[in-house]
């Protein structure tokens, strides 16, 4: 009889060990089965088995059943930290954010050194879109654990999700100094660099008017488009209608951004106009952006514009830096065409307000440019100077307005001044 009881005990111990191994292997459904077998053989009083079953059920996606077991454990073991954490996490996954926060706040009151509880509550506030509470919480977490890179990373994730990319970048830099892994920081910086859209879909509409001095017929353009965000990039399809030199042209644009490798992104823009007079038949741009150091970004690009009167090739580079809420960039450009080579450079400064969606920007540039002029739409090289002011503001998370005013001086063409107004709607 004693030998039989020993064998049964060994079988039960092995069964519990097997359940734990299944959890470590992320085989959650098998872990649920093994924990239940163990409890059926050994009774429902052992804490380790009940807690393991609740975790296995939660990770297997059976949230309601996991909640029942966590609640039963907390009835038998009031204030149990691990069960409060587990139940709070499950409430968060079910979007029952008030209940999740209640459990996690109670846990932190009892065990303020429980780092996983700090992390879970940070996630809860972020998922519940409570920025102020989330920011207060991560700041308190960083004060409680000043050397913990996890707290700085959580702060960066919060700022990223609320599109406060300048602050997110600063938090990542602080996490790096505290010893955060390169893979974690590179992933975050790649997401921040691309500045993903706030919502998956976006409708776009822009109208542009350019007038001239001395007076001549103004230029008009209308752009309508739709944009979709993917996990690794975005793709926009646009229709462009222009009226220049009293001629109408129609073109279609495909504009895509894609994350490439750590801290790098690419932009490919294709514009085609079958029967173009004043637009290029084909306008293709490819550019790669690479971040380096804490605040720097470099880029290289090539653009081809195929006009009816001949092609123009552009080679461009850029160097940019992030300074707090400022983004500064210098971009020189070389073009080659039948009109000869030319060089111009542009400098711009963008200031972000409360998020990446709300900003003001100024650009200035000078050099030589090639453009279509005259009733015959001939390519001609021009010495130019230009300046513009640009801004965007989202009145609601879905609806935003933007506007630009500009002035362009040409040495062989009337000076041009104008504006652009537009709107974006997201869902």
Please list, in sequence order, all residues whose beta carbon lies within 8 angstroms of the beta carbon of residue 50, skipping any fewer than 6 positions away. Answer: 39, 44, 69, 72, 73
Q: Decide which of 191 and 107 is more confident.
A: 107
CATH class, range 201-426: mainly beta
Neighbours of 421 (CB within 10 A): 14
The CATH classification of domain 15-194, taken from the options 1.10.540.10, 3.30.559.10, 3.40.190.290, 1.25.40.10: 1.25.40.10
* CA distance linking residue 304 with residue 284, whole number of Å: 5
H or E element in which residue 137 lies: helix 131-144
Number of helical (H) and strand (E) elements in the chain, helices listed first: 11, 14
Query: Directed axis angle between helix 97-110 and helix 115-127, to 10°?
Result: 160
- Per the prediction, the chain carries an average pLDDT of 90
The distance of Cα 404 from the centroid of its chain, to the nearest Å, equals 24
Using one digit for the tens of pLDDT, what is the confidence trace for 246-286? 888 999 999 999 999 989 999 999 999 988 888 999 999 99
Using one digit for the tens of pLDDT, what is the confidence trace for 342-361? 899 999 999 999 888 999 99
Residue 416: its pLDDT value, please? 92
The distance of Cα 15 from the centroid of its chain, to the nearest Å, equals 45
* CA distance linking residue 325 with residue 124, whole number of Å: 27
With beta carbons less than 8 A apart as the criterion, state whether 407 and 389 touch: no
Residues of the chain with CATH 2.40.160.40: 201-426
Using one digit for the tens of pLDDT, what is the confidence trace for 144-168? 999 999 999 999 999 999 999 989 9
Task: Report the predicted TM-score, pTM, of the whole model to 2 decimal places.
Answer: 0.77
* CA distance linking residue 19 with residue 38, whole number of Å: 9
Residue 373: its pLDDT value, please? 65
With beta carbons less than 8 A apart as the criterion, state whether 107 and 114 touch: yes
With beta carbons less than 8 A apart as the criterion, state whether 226 and 198 touch: no
With beta carbons less than 8 A apart as the criterion, state whether 373 and 413 touch: yes
Cis bond upstream, residue 276 (ω within 30)? no
Mean pLDDT of all residues in 115-124:
96
Confidence of residue 376 (pLDDT cuts 50, 70, 90): low
Please list, in sequence order, all residues whose beta carbon lies within 8 angstroms of the beta carbon of residue 55, skipping any fewer than 6 positions away. Answer: 23, 66, 86
Among 254, 332, 347, smallest CA distance to 299 is for: 332
Confidence of residue 324 (pLDDT cuts 50, 70, 90): confident
Neighbours of 362 (CB within 10 A): 14
Residues of the chain with CATH 1.25.40.10: 15-194
Question: To the nearest 10°, the Cα dihedral for 234, 238, 242, 248?
Answer: 150
Residue 7: its pLDDT value, please? 47
């Amino acid at each position: 009889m004693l030998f039989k009881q020993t064998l049964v005990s060994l079988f039960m111990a092995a069964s519990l060990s097997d359940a734990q191994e299944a959890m470590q292997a992320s085989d959650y459904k098998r872990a649920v089965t093994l924990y239940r077998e163990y409890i059926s053989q050994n009774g429902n009083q052992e804490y380790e088995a009940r807690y393991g079953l609740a975790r296995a059920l939660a990770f297997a996606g059976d949230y309601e059943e996991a909640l029942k077991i966590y609640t039963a454990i907390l009835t038998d073991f009031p204030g149990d930290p691990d069960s409060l954490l587990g139940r709070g996490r499950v409430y968060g996954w079910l979007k029952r954010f008030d209940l999740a926060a209640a459990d996690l706040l109670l846990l932190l009151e009892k065990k303020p050194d429980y780092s996983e509880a700090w992390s879970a509550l940070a996630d809860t506030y972020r998922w519940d879109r409570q920025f102020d509470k989330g920011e207060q919480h991560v700041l308190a977490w960083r004060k409680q654990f000043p050397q913990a890179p996890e707290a700085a990373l959580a702060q960066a994730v919060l700022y990223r999700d609320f599109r406060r990319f300048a602050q997110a970048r600063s938090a990542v830099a602080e996490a790096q100094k505290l010893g955060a892994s390169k893979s974690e920081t590179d992933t975050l910086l790649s997401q921040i660099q691309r500045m993903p859209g706030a919502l998956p879909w976006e409708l776009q509409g822009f109208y542009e008017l350019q007038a001239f001095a001395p007076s001549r017929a103004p230029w008009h353009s209308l752009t309508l488009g739709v944009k979709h965000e993917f996990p690794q990039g975005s793709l926009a399809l646009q229709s462009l209608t222009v009226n220049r030199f009293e001629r109408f042209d129609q073109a279609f644009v495909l504009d895509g951004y894609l994350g490439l490798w750590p801290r790098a992104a690419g932009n490919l823009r294709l514009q085609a106009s079958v029967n173009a007079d004043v637009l290029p038949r084909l306008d293709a741009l490819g550019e790669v952006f690479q971040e380096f150091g804490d605040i720097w970004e470099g880029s290289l690009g090539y653009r081809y514009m195929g006009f009816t009167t001949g092609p123009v090739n552009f080679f461009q580079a850029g160097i940019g830096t992030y300074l707090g809420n400022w983004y500064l960039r210098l971009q020189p450009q070389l073009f080659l065409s039948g009109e000869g080579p030319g060089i111009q450079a542009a400098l711009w400064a963008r200031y972000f307000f409360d998020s990446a969606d709300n900003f003001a920007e100024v650009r200035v540039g000078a050099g030589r440019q090639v453009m279509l002029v005259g009733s015959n739409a001939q390519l001609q090289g021009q010495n130019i100077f230009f300046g513009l002011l640009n801004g965007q503001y989202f009145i609601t998370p879905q609806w935003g307005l933007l506007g630009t005013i500009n002035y362009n001086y040409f040495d062989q063409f009337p000076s041009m001044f104008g504006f652009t107004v537009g709107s974006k709607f997201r869902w």
